[in-house]
Amino acid sequence: MQDISILNWHDQQEAWINKYIVPGTRSGDMELVTDEIGPEIYVFPLFTTAFCQELIELVEERNEWTTSRHQYYPTTDVLLYKLGLEPMYHEVLLRFAHPLARKLWRLEGKAWQDMIEESFIARYRHEEQSSLSIHQDFADYTFTVGLNSDFEGGGTWFARQKILGNPRNGHCLLFPSITHPHGGRPTTAGRRYICVSFCRRRKLYYPDSPTPKSSAEVAQNQNTTTQADTV
């Protein structure tokens, strides 16, 4: 049997899920594992430590970090499609994360069944970019997965709700975008890695597109126009 890695999602899908998606979430018991840490701010476990470690190793090995994707609130980041991971990550969100958002907020109708994401890994470190100013994401809602815990400080500060979210080791933060301005508190030691997904209704934002856009195409189109990043 082929060794399972984060890169071979399609080869052994169920074995991949058993290795990289945590119990509870894997079985769909989302009411059991989801916490509301503030008004409309939720945290749930998504990925195992093995997934997080492999993703961090891969992104550092590829070393394709950029700070030029966003005009107003740039982060040090890498789009998942540049790592060959965008199709896998979209399928994971489609199966395990988007249904939770629809249930929590009663998002009904076909438009909410056809979501696209701009997904990327962001890195904060005290000697480089350690924080991000208060902003709002260009999204209906956002998923932010914390990938590690060996850092100090950091976290997503929701200015209006006065809540700090700082998910670690595969836990995922979920929040609506327009009502929840937020910023990244300074990482004071170590490196903080997060995987972020701006989630949008395809037909609302791209109604005149003759063909469906992939999230990679959306991300490319937003390289110079998106006005906010996330934390």
pTM of the model: 0.91
One DSSP character per residue, 3-33 reads: PP-TT-TTTSHHHHHHHHB-TTTTTT-HHHH
CA atoms of 113 and 46, how far apart (whole Å): 20
Q: Which fold has domain 13-221?
A: Jelly Rolls (2.60.120)
CA atoms of 120 and 77, how far apart (whole Å): 6
Which pLDDT does position 90 carry in this prediction? 96
For the chain, give the mean pLDDT.
Answer: 90
Which residues are known to be catalytic? 192
Residue 220 has pLDDT above 80, yes or no: no
Average pLDDT for 152-175: 98
Q: Say what percent of the chain tops pLDDT 90.
A: 81
Average pLDDT for 100-126: 96
Average pLDDT for 195-219: 71
Confidence band, pLDDT 50/70/90 cuts, at residue 226:
very low
Which pLDDT does position 224 carry in this prediction? 40
CA atoms of 229 and 198, how far apart (whole Å): 9
More confidently predicted of 11 and 209: 11
Which pLDDT does position 214 carry in this prediction? 57
Confidence band, pLDDT 50/70/90 cuts, at residue 70:
confident
Half-sphere exposure of 79 (CA within 13 A, CB side): 19
Residue 213 has pLDDT above 70, yes or no: no
More confidently predicted of 231 and 194: 194
Cα angle 70, 39, 170; round to 5: 60
**What is the length of the chain?**
231
Q: Specify the range with the lowest mean pLDDT, choosing from 15-19, 27-31, 165-169, 224-228.
A: 224-228
Q: Domain map of the chain by residue range?
A: 13-221
Q: What is the per-residue pLDDT across 13-44, written as a single tens digit (0 to 9) for each?
A: 999 999 999 999 999 999 999 999 999 999 99
CA atoms of 215 and 139, how far apart (whole Å): 13
Which pLDDT does position 216 carry in this prediction? 59
